[in-house]
Homo-oligomer: A and B are copies of this chain.
Amino acid sequence: MGQRSLDTLRDELRSFATARDWEQFHTPKNLAMALIVEAAELVEHFQWLTPEQSRQLDEPKLEQVRQECADILIYLTRLADVLGVDLLDAAYAKMAINAVKYPVEQARGNAAKAART
């Protein structure tokens, strides 16, 4: 088996959709809706948990959460493909923006203050 990457995932998802005549449904609008629905299925697993409980999922629950994460990545990758967006490039570009927006020292100070509130 070849090396798995976001690029191979994108290509396989494209073939998967084409084979099923699903391109007609895969508008960016619809894919964004599908993505947020999956994000909500993820949120649902955590809605009544304390912060601590959310760090200690048992294996059956973790497997469900893993599948929700997969669904989100699948729709995000498919959306990015339809839009012609390179996800890794976009994420690295955003991290550069975030590094400027949240300087280390200032962020540590704010974190300490928020934790005391």
Contacts and interface: CB of A to CB of B under 8 A. Distances in A.
Interface of A: 4-6, 9, 12-13, 16, 19-22, 24-25, 27-30, 32-37, 39-55, 57, 62, 65-67, 69-74, 76-77, 79-80, 82-83, 85, 87-95, 97-99, 102, 104, 107-108, 111-112, 114-115, 117
Contact of A43 (B33, B48, B49, B104): B33
B62 A117 contact: no
A42 B43 CA distance: 14
A7 B50 CA distance: 29
A42 B51 contact: no
B37 A44 contact: yes
